Chain A
Amino acid sequence: MSKKDFDVIVVGAGPAGMAAAYVLAKAGVDVIVIERGKFPGSKNVMGGIFYRKPMDDLIPEFYKEAPIERHIVEQRMWLMDDVSHFSMGIKTQKHNSEPYNCFSVLRAQFDKWFSKKVIEAGALLINETVVTEPIIENGKVVGVRTDRPQGDLYADCVIAADGVQSFLAKSLGLRKKITPNKVALGVKEIIGLSEEQVNDRFGIKDSNEGVTIEITGPFLKGMEGMAWVYTNKNSVSIGIGVIIDDLINHNMNPNDLLESLKNHSSVLPLIEGGETREYLAHVIPEGGYKSVPKMYTDGFMVAGDAAMLVDSIHREGSNLAVESGKLAARTYLEAKESGDFSEKTLSRYQEKLEETYILQDLRYYRNLPELLEEKRYLLTEYPQFLIDAMTEIYTVDGVPKPEKFKKIKGELKSRFGYIGLAKDLYTIWRKLR
């Protein structure tokens, strides 16, 4: 190699990049993180739930010092149509004591805190600098070019944690252009309320405890997507993410969708009277396992959203980012021992990911994006049936119960047909194998 300014260049100061930088800096590696935003977190968006486990492995008991909003003790799942919602969920004291399961966070604050830890560990952080392309010599990635004057940097290895659009992974041909049927557009507002209002409206006793609501169903008019309401300390994060192709085909704009969500009879009482403090939007990679690219080449690894690591079924993303960043860093440390940063050595990174729950989870759901794309009615008609059946059961109108059950059975048959029902169940079972 001709030049070397650092051992490793990490591109992007989100959870993936910072987890990688943290592991490397702790191991005494000379690492620089390059972030395009004004500060880490200034451009980062997610629904608002951060899982404890991967972060706790990195910084034990981080939740005692990090700016978290509430630990989540109740998770609700709503199937919603225009006038009703059918609710399921779990509230458990098992999630109400340390070490907790997950937290609501505001990324602008959380990422800033994380970056402080990374700097304390010994990494250099450079903000407001855009990495424009990889520098390639003899077929190997040897550094990055930035938009700054005298902006070339050289290193043994580049870890690209540059987000869902990952220009680096694309320019190296690792990733194909993402298509609008594989990404969702998420829009979100943070609505300010008082701590007491949040507690009262969500049935919370202690201001450290939090509730999440995930919403899908026929209110989306057949589009594939998910809405959410998460409690922060004195605000609520409310948002909706819908596959971009669906937005185009339904001629819908996400702002209108969010507005109608906010005004829905089930949602409005939770946020009424609150003041919108922030408005955010971001693209969410939803392609699942099949869209995960080859995550390495000579002198180069990809982590987090840049590697399409999002489990949209379980609203997991930031934890996969942290986990992948850690594994990329560990792979580098192994490679450093032999001084060999070739594709062959770095391929261990993807093997490691395959061995963890990250790629195992994504592999399990690998057929789901296609299935749902093909059979959008699974997201509308079954939930609608459930809502209607529950409404029927709970309506006391003089009709005898046996007759009600018969009516529900009849509806099931006329809406789906027993054969259709069996087919759908079989398809889902087969696709998840």
Chain B
Amino acid sequence: MHFLVFIKQVPDAAQVRVDYETGTLIREGVPAIINPFDKHAIEAAVRLKDQFGGKVSVVCMGPPMAEDALKEAMSMGVDKAFLLSDRIFAGSDTLATSYALWAAAKQIIKEEGPVDIFFAGKQAIDGDTAQTGPGIATRFNVPLITYVVDVKKLDPEKKTVELVRLVESGQEVIQTTMPCFLTVEEELNTLSYAPLPYLIRAAKTPVKVLNSKNTEIEAEYCGLKNSPTKVRKAFTPPKRERGEMIEGDSVDSIINQLYEKIQPVLKTMGKV
């Protein structure tokens, strides 16, 4: 079986701060990481490979430094890593990005064989759009199952897979045919501590670079110019006020002060 995972390198959102004077994000010195949801997609693909055999490929679109993300993916057990990197992609929105990744995936299929399951995280933590994965799935015209929290049963003979996905009211169990495209939630699995041979192989195996020259990507669908999404306005959320500190000589006095403060709220809730 062949599993292909789409990943994105993102700034570690936990470390990005807002410059309240200019209203922009301070990205300086913020480490780049694999989008956390994508890591669970990689983990799921590697576990299926361990169970059913085959291989896992992974592709990431981004600048040359995104190689770090691919190396990390390989150390999680991925067999083949592709970096889709070209200046023509600069400024791409989700439409242009899903086009480019689709075209790159076609090239990967040419080189590595047909894919049974495509994987991606449910969304990226920097843009939060959740559009790129579905955009690729649409272009492949394969079943798209979003917010996957469990892969229950995979039948390699019948080419079917049974999945659990999150819906607003609860969970939905779905059976679909392969090839299919899954975007996954973090609950799907717990990341495992990769064995040392994976890390050694990752250090030894180079990342293959894909660009407009060695794929059939057409520049007229790529980059800022061909991205219909326009940012009309960006604003920063209001700065959070510092919480009130309650001081006192004893625990009892602090508790009493705290109780007095929250009593009105508790009353409105009917708790006292």
Q: Contact partner of B195 among A32, A38, A124, A148, CB < 8 A?
A: A148
- Which chain A residues border B193 with CB–CB below 8 Å? 147-149
CB distance from A341 to the nearest CB of B (A): 22
Instruction: Give Cα distance in the complex from A184 to B197, angstroms.
Output: 38
B204 within 8 A of A: yes
Establish whether residues B195 and A126, one from each chain, have CB atoms under 8 Å apart when the complex forms: no
Q: Which residues of B contact A321 (CB under 8 A)?
A: none
* CB-defined contacts of B203 to chain A, threshold 8 Å: 124-126
Q: Does B167 count as interface, using CB distance less than 8 angstroms?
A: no
Query: Contact between A129 and B199 (Cβ–Cβ < 8 Å)?
Result: yes
User: CB-CB < 8 A to B29: which residues of A?
Assistant: 277
Say yes or no: A150 contacts B196, CB within 8 Å.
yes
* A38 to B75 Cα, complex, angstroms: 13
Q: Is A146 located at the chain interface by the 8 A CB criterion? A: yes
- Could you say which residues of chain B place their CB within 8 Å of the CB of A125? 203
Give the Cβ gap from A343 to chain B, nearest Cβ, in Å: 28
Q: Are B196 and A146 in touch, CB under 8 angstroms?
A: yes
Are the CB atoms of B196 and A151 closer together than 8 Å? yes
Q: Which of A242-269 contact B (CB under 8 A)?
A: none
The reply to whether the CB of B254 lies closer than 8 angstroms to some CB of chain A is no
Does A227 make an interface contact (CB < 8 A)?
no
In B189-233, which residues have CB < 8 Å from any A CB?
Answer: 193-197, 199-200, 203-204
Partner of A129, one of B31, B196, B204: B196
Residues of chain A within 8 A of B199, CB atoms compared: 126-129, 148
- A142 interface residue per 8 A CB criterion: no
B204/A153 in contact, CB under 8 A: no
CB distance from A190 to the nearest CB of B (A): 10
> Complex: how many Å from CA A129 to CA B199?
9
Question: Is B204 in contact with A124, judged by CB distance below 8 angstroms?
Answer: yes
The digit string for A110-143, where 1 denotes a CB below 8 A from any CB of B, is: 0000000000000011111100000000000000
**Min CB gap A99→B, angstroms:** 30
Whether B200 pairs with A124 at a CB distance below 8 angstroms is yes
Contact (Cβ within 8 A) B204 A151: no
Q: Mark B1-37, 1 if CB is under 8 A from A, else 0.
A: 0000000000000000000000000000101000000
Closest to B192 in A: A149
Our pick among A147, A150, A277 for the contact of B197 (Cβ within 8 Å) is A150
A277 contact set on B, CB distance < 8 A: 29
Q: Is the CB of A150 within 8 A of B204?
A: no
Chain B residue at minimum C-beta to C-beta distance from A146:
B196
Q: Report the separation of the CA atoms of residues A152 and B199 in the bound assembly, to the nearest whole angstrom.
A: 13
| A residues near B194, Cβ cutoff 8 Å | 148-149
Residue of B nearest to A39 (CB): B68
Q: Quick one: closest B residue to A148, CB to CB?
A: B196
CB neighbours (8 Å) of B31 from chain A are: 38
The residue on B at minimum CB distance from A5 is B200
B14 CB to nearest chain A CB (Å): 14
B196 / chain A contacts, CB cutoff of 8 Å? 126, 129, 146, 148-153
Closest chain A CB from B19 CB (angstroms):
12
Minimum CB–CB distance from A279 to chain B (whole Å) comes to 13
In Å, the complex CA distance between A153 and B203 comes to: 15
Determine the residue in chain B with the shortest Cβ distance to A42.
B31
Query: Cβ of B197: which chain A residues have Cβ within 8 Å of it?
Result: 150
Closest Cβ of chain A: how far from B202's Cβ, in Å? 9
Closest CB of chain B to A402's CB: distance in Å? 59
Residues of B near A124 (CB, < 8 A) are: 200, 203-204
**Chain A residues near B195 (CB-CB < 8 A):** 148-151
List A residues 185-217 near B (Cβ within 8 Å): none
- For this complex, 27 residue pairs linking A to B, each with C-beta atoms less than 8 Å apart, are A32-B200, A38-B31, A124-B200, A125-B203, A126-B196, A126-B199, A126-B200, A127-B199, A128-B199, A129-B196, A129-B199, A146-B196, A147-B193, A148-B193, A148-B194, A148-B195, A148-B196, A149-B193, A149-B194, A149-B195, A149-B196, A150-B195, A150-B197, A151-B195, A152-B196, A153-B196, A277-B29
- Other A-B contacts than A32-B200, A126-B199, A149-B194, 6 sampled, CB-CB below 8 A, are A126-B196, A129-B199, A148-B193, A148-B195, A148-B196, A148-B199
Q: Which residues of B contact A (CB under 8 A)?
A: 29, 31, 193-197, 199-200, 203-204
Which 10 pairs between the two chains have the least Cβ-Cβ distance?
A149-B195, A148-B196, A150-B195, A151-B196, A124-B203, A126-B199, A150-B196, A150-B197, A148-B195, A146-B196
